[in-house]
Amino acid sequence: MSETALMGVSRQKLLLDLVGVRKTFDGFNAVERIDLSVMEGEFFTIVGPSGSGKTTLLRMLAGMDQPSEGAIYLRGESLNDMPANKRPTCLVFQSLALFPHMTVGQNIEFALKMRKIAPAARKERALELMRVVRLPETYYSKNVMKCSGGEKQRVALARAFTYDPEILLFDEPLSALDYKLRKTLEKELKDLHRETGKTFIYITHSLEEAMVMSDRIGVMRDGRLVQVGTPEEIYTKPSDKFVSEFMGEVNIVRVRPDGSGRYKSEDLAGSFTVNAPASTDGYVVIRPEFLRFLALPSDADNCLTGRVHNEYSLGSRVQYQVRVGERMFLVEQPRRQSFGGGDVTIGWDAADAIFVAE
């Protein structure tokens, strides 16, 4: 196994280890030399834009595709030649793939029926799982096509658990749901993960889903994992400009040393205090919540003068667009302020910004 993948990880808790995994289609590397370790009982989420390779990676974990190179290990044993139906995994598809002509109970019991489990035992297990996923017992005989979108999601989850998998794989299962239902199911999935102790590997393009549910997040780009870490690490210490932009709305200023220990920008007047090596070009990343309106320029390490262009209510917060020259900056405040339509001064402290090298 990869020593790098095992650094800081207890061998007793290591479940999956991917070593140099590559998948090639007609000369195109959809997944490019992935090294990754997933712990037993972990909620690990893979995020990335469309075409980044995350679904291809999930299909290799499920056994639907085989690696072109490298190996996938489960507790030290290679899974490369193990067929999908022999793996201790279950994949919850985006489409859910429920049987439309069956009832809720029949959908949940399907795997048990294939194993020739007695009808009474199948029903008992189905009802037990319905309680786990918060479906009323009265739904047992309800046609699954008469269920709401959220109820269908719960049926699919209950059916996945009948296989008693060690690892549940999720391929963007909440992407087609409305916002309110999606937020409810995000919390329920996190609760379900904690209650069952199963290992969840989850694919999404949504930063918000990943941040809410995950123990760790892997960010993919062009077939590679560009950063792996906790939600806090990914958000506060992005490895590069791509990760910082992908993980939410940010203000990015390209800077270079000015020779005096400070940094200057090509398109903004003045120089800035930056926590960065003194000889490195790069980008200063400022989250909107760390930009603030200043009464005096001296109230922050760095400041800019601009004019409020627009504002957007975000419930408990207000997001302001502030135009500085040809640039637009985002500022978030917990409550509305009055600016009277004139110039404003915005600023940030060096400790509140992130520097990423080019």
Q: What is the pLDDT of residues 113-169, one digit of tens each?
A: 988 999 999 999 999 999 988 899 999 999 999 998 889 888 988 998 898 899 999
Residues 290 and 177 in one domain: no
Would you say residue 8 has pLDDT above 60? no
Examine the domain organization and report whether 275 and 211 are in the same domain: no
Same domain, 199 and 304: no
Alpha-carbon distances of 258 from 271, 285, 301, 323, 355, rounded to whole Å: 8, 18, 17, 24, 16
- For residue 9, is pLDDT > 50? no
Domain count, the chain: 2
Task: Give the domain extent around 56.
Answer: 3-243
Q: What is the pLDDT of residue 308?
A: 92
Residue 26, amino acid: D
Give yes or no: residues 213 and 255 share one domain.
no
The per-residue pLDDT for range 80-116, each reduced to its tens digit, is: 999 998 999 998 887 778 899 999 999 999 989 988 9
Q: Do 167 and 208 lie in a common domain? A: yes
Q: What CATH number does residue 73 fall under?
A: 3.40.50.300
Q: Which CATH number fits the domain that encloses residue 337?
A: 2.40.50.140
**233 contacts: CB under 8 Å, gap ≥ 6:** none
Higher per-residue confidence, 175 vs 86:
86
Q: What percent of the chain has pLDDT over 90?
A: 64
Please indicate, yes or no, whether residues 282 and 197 belong to a single structural domain of this protein: no
The pLDDT tens digits of the residues spanning 193-248 come to 998 899 999 999 888 889 999 999 999 999 999 999 999 999 888 999 999 888 77
Same domain, 310 and 198: no
Domain end marker among 243, 266, 301: 243
Give the per-residue pLDDT at 336. 66
pLDDT band at 5 (very low <50, low <70, confident <90, very high): very low
The verdict on 214 and 268 lying in the same domain is: no
- For residue 190 the two structure tokens come to 């996190």
Q: Are 84 and 112 part of one and the same domain?
A: yes
Do 138 and 19 reside in the same domain of the chain?
Answer: yes
Residue 323 amino acid letter: R
Phi, psi of 310 (to 5 degrees): -165, 165
pLDDT: which is higher, 164 or 30: 30
Instruction: Evaluate if residue 2 carries a pLDDT over 50.
Output: no
Q: Last residue of some domain: 223, 243, 263?
A: 243
4 pLDDT tier (thresholds 50, 70, 90): very low
Q: Are residues 171 and 202 in the same domain?
A: yes
pLDDT score for 341: 62
Both 264 and 318 in one domain: the answer is: yes
- Give residues with Cβ within 8 angstroms of 226, minimum separation 6: 219, 220, 239, 240, 242, 243
pLDDT of residue 1: 39
Better pLDDT: 271 or 338: 271
| Exposed / middle / buried, residue 213 (Cβ in 10 Å: 0-12, 13-18, 19+) | buried
pLDDT at residue number 339: 60
